Chain A
Amino acid sequence: MVETAGSKTYVGRYDSEDQRGVHMLDVGVHDVAEGSSKEDYLRKSVKFGIRSDHKHVLVPTDQVVRVTRLSDLPT
């Protein structure tokens, strides 16, 4: 899971990191600006798995706040 300085949180497979940012594969995106609960989204992702919205996402370095294993989140 990659939390950002903006409204979006990304869950997916951590692929790599370079000077541009964090590359993720098979990525689900939650945007708190759309009104739904981030905690609920993460809870469902832990239990039911990641609903992939994008094959590949690059999260820019300056947006990355925290990278956490989804399996480390409480169920």
Chain B
Amino acid sequence: MPYNPALVAPMRAEMTQMGAKELTSVSEVDAVIGDQKGSMLVFVNSVCGCAAGNARPALALALKHNVVPQQVVTVFAGQDVEAAARARQYFGEYQPSSPSMALLRDGEVVHFVHRHQIEGRSPQAIAGELTAAFDRFFGATV
């Protein structure tokens, strides 16, 4: 059962304030992730305080890096249930977990950050791994 919208509103706002586009329906997910071109980060948001409470600030930090995905979008697991389920269909064999982050390039998942890689780690540590992935997968090729 979804949480009280008032409870999750600050968690949604934290994402949109860093520039993420919220996808709340299956049609929005299909329109944005389906036939995706370029680089994209999909953040699967969660009410989980111990992990999502670090993952959101980590992403905000990482997005200050000089190499970032062209698009950042978010779905809210346990809240926008159908949209989150649809987004996960684009993640191939990566198992669902929340919070989590998928880095896509031209529709293919090139890197995935699972909940087990977020939990118990500082935002700075998570951001460090994210920026390394941005450099590796989204950096300019010479």
Contact = CB atoms under 8 A, between A and B. Distances in A.
Interface of A: 13, 47-52, 69-71
A49 B94 CA distance: 6
Nearest to A73: B116
Contact of A69 (B93, B95, B115, B120): B120
Interface residues of B, number: 14
A49 B120 contact: no
A51 B120 contact: no
Contact of A50 (B97, B119, B121): B97
Contact of A49 (B114, B119, B121): B114
B95 A51 contact: yes
B94 to A, nearest CB: 5
B90 interface: no
Nearest to A52: B95
B116 A71 contact: yes
Interface string B76-106: 0000000000000000011111001000000
16 contacts: A47-B112, A48-B94, A48-B95, A48-B112, A49-B95, A49-B96, A49-B114, A49-B115, A50-B95, A50-B97, A52-B95, A69-B120, A70-B116, A71-B116, A71-B117, A71-B119
A7 B45 CA distance: 36
